[in-house]
């Protein structure tokens, strides 16, 4: 597959429509709550294609939207000084996990994706926000980075346990949004390197992923408009319930 046209011709009209609709919805979710694009994309696309193929499609939309999120806030240097070890272990965990686990066609990969989605949703619905003390942060944040990398390498989902960890650091809203963009950018780069190593991210996949950026950006714009009109708390709850149902379905599918 050397062009995005060949890629989508191979998928067929039904799956192409699923890709467009998925990235439109995923972009809306990210526009409203600031995260969720890869989670929604991997969850929905995982219903109809291999996880490695779904992960290849999300690389460009994820990277561009995360860099956009990362660019604003004015806290980049401070966050890099504080989180560099966690970010390094996310990258190394993803890279080494890719060599060890990969993201193949085995059924356990789909179930692992379902489990990751379900754990993420239940943690968002049920667990209270906790605060990490500086002594705890010194060892727990790097450990969370390593575990996040391993989970990313197997499922393409890079929110667990990185997101709860970052939320526990007591960051301001602007700092947290920028820290999430930083973490997700590192995860996306590492995932792209792993997919390329295994031959799952060639010119055709990159072109197809670039085309998926269009509905993702449109969805982000719509989501930011919707955010002004609905309760973010209510939307987050509905989002987590939907992700939990999707995760449970993938976890129990044959």
Percent of the chain surpassing pLDDT 90: 26
Which of the two residues, 118 and 198, has the higher pLDDT score?
Answer: 118
pLDDT digits (tens, 9 = 90+) for 91-104: 999 888 877 766 55
Length reported for the chain:
254
pTM of the predicted protein model:
0.82
Contacts (Cβ under 8 Å, ≥6 apart) of 3: 204, 207
Per-residue confidence at 66, pLDDT binned at 50, 70, 90?
confident
Kindly report whether the peptide bond that precedes residue 161 is cis, defined as omega within 30 degrees of 0: yes
Which single residue is written with the structure tokens 């504080």? 82
Q: What percent of the chain has pLDDT over 70?
A: 91
pLDDT tens digit sequence for 104-113: 555 677 777 7
2, two tokens: 């050397």
Residue of higher predicted confidence among 77 and 36: 77
Confidence of residue 142 (pLDDT cuts 50, 70, 90): very high
| 189-223 b/e (C-beta count within 10 Å ≥ 16 → b) | bbbbebbbeeebbeebbbbbbebbbebbbbbbebb
> CA 206, 246, 173, 168 torsion: positive or negative?
negative
Domain ranges of the chain: 4-252
Q: Distance (Å, rounded) from C-alpha 158 to C-alpha 148?
A: 6
Alpha helices in the chain, H assignment, sequence order: 4-11, 13-33, 37-45, 51-71, 76-100, 107-126, 134-155, 162-167, 173-197, 203-227, 232-252
**CA 12 to chain CA centroid, nearest Å:** 25
Q: Are 99 and 222 in contact (CB under 8 A)?
A: no
| pLDDT score of 74 | 78
Retrieve residue 109's tokens.
């990969």
18 CB-contact burial (10 Å; exposed 0-12 / middle 13-18 / buried 19+): middle
Residues 217, 25 contacting (CB under 8 angstroms): no
Tokens for 25, please give them: 């919805």
pLDDT, position 22: 93
Pair of tokens at residue 217: 């950006």
Q: What digits encode the pLDDT tens for the residues 165-193?
A: 998 898 887 788 889 889 999 999 998 98
């Amino acid at each position: 597959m050397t062009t995005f046209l060949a890629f989508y011709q191979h998928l067929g009209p039904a799956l192409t429509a699923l890709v467009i609709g998925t990235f439109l919805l995923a972009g809306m979710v990210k526009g409203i709550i600031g995260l969720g694009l890869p989670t929604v994309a991997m969850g929905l696309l995982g219903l109809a294609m291999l996880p490695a193929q779904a992960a290849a499609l999300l690389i460009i939309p994820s990277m561009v939207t995360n860099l956009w999120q990362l660019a604003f806030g004015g806290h980049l240097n401070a966050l890099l000084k504080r989180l560099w070890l966690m970010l390094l272990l996310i990258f190394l965990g993803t890279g080494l996990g890719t060599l060890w686990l990969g993201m193949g066609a085995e059924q356990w990969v789909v179930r692992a994706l379902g489990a990751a989605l379900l754990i993420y949703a239940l943690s968002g619905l049920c667990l209270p926000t906790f605060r990490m003390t500086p002594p705890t942060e010194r060892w727990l944040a790097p450990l969370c980075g390593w575990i996040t990398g391993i989970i990313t390498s197997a499922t393409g989902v890079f929110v667990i346990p990185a997101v709860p960890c970052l939320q526990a650091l007591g960051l301001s809203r602007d700092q947290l949004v920028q820290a999430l963009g930083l973490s997700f950018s590192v995860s996306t780069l590492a995932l792209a390197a792993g997919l390329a190593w295994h031959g799952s991210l060639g010119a055709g996949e990159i072109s197809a992923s670039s085309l998926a950026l269009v509905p993702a950006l449109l969805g982000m714009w719509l989501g930011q408009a919707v955010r002004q009109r609905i309760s973010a708390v209510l939307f987050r709850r509905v989002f987590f319930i939907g992700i939990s149902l999707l995760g449970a379905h993938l976890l129990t599918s044959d």
